[in-house]
Amino acid sequence: MSSIISELVQLSQDLGHASRHLAILGEGNTSAKLSTDTFAVKASGSSLETLIETDLTECKFSTLLNLLDSPDTSDERVEKTLSEARVKTDGKKPSTEAFFHGMLLQIPDVNFVGHTHPVSVNRVLCSPRAEEFATKRLFPDEIVCCGPASVFVPYVDPGIALSRAIRDRVQEFMQKHQRTPKVILLKNHGLVALGRTAAAVKATTLMADKAARIFFGATAMGGPVFLSDEDVRRIDTRLDEAYRQRVLKL
């Protein structure tokens, strides 16, 4: 467990590094599965850039996930549930977005989750072309690191409502594509990266940032030219790209 926590701390600091413009102040949050029963998530108000082990809170999956199906999701009930979910009663309050972290970490082979608010990505997500950016691909490495498409979630109030919307959209994506998504794009909000390893979450986040920068530049130059569906499928199924994903721990 200590190695997982160390990886999560390093991932948090990497995503929060000021030079990357992925998150500032208390923006964003990260998490990692610790066991079948619990996971660690960034405490509310903590900074990713300066995060240390004591800024993580161990939470019980069951306590948080039970609220997603409850008719009572008042602010008071949410606060009470976040408090009760802590394994250690003196632990810091987990982020309100712990609900969707817990839900996503229940997906097989998803062991780490990183949620950020990249300037580059939000530049697109706050525009009329947000869904187009989510569902199309511009270059091969975007497919390798971010998958052939991303989950797109229209703007929803952060908290339980957002967690439910993410759950529904992810389920739809997995039924349609028969695979786990690597990227979830939240309109007017930010990016969620899922991965088997911390390295995968970092690589996916950085590649999504690069893709957003290219998309923005291409738009200014007359409009993005996307890869065809056939080209996307070809890159996604190439054996050499699958080998590269394994080497890069994606």
* Tens digit of each residue's pLDDT (9 = 90 or more) over 210-222: 999 999 999 999 9
pLDDT digits (tens, 9 = 90+) for 85-106: 999 988 899 989 999 999 999 9
158 vs 185, residue with greater confidence: 185
For the chain, the domain total comes to 1
* Residues 6 or more apart in contact with residue 95 via CB below 8 angstroms: 29, 41, 42, 43, 44, 101
Q: What is the pTM of this model?
A: 0.95
Cβ–Cβ < 8 Å for 152, 240: no
Mean pLDDT estimate for the chain: 94
The residue type of 218 is A
Closest among 137, 106, 132, 114 to 187, alpha carbons compared: 132
Domain that holds residue 238: 2-247
CA angle 171, 183, 54 (to 5 degrees): 100
* Residues 6 or more apart in contact with residue 38 via CB below 8 angstroms: 58, 59, 60, 61, 87
The token duo for 116 is 């950020």
d(CA 84, CA 77): 10
CATH assignment at residue 188: 3.40.225.10
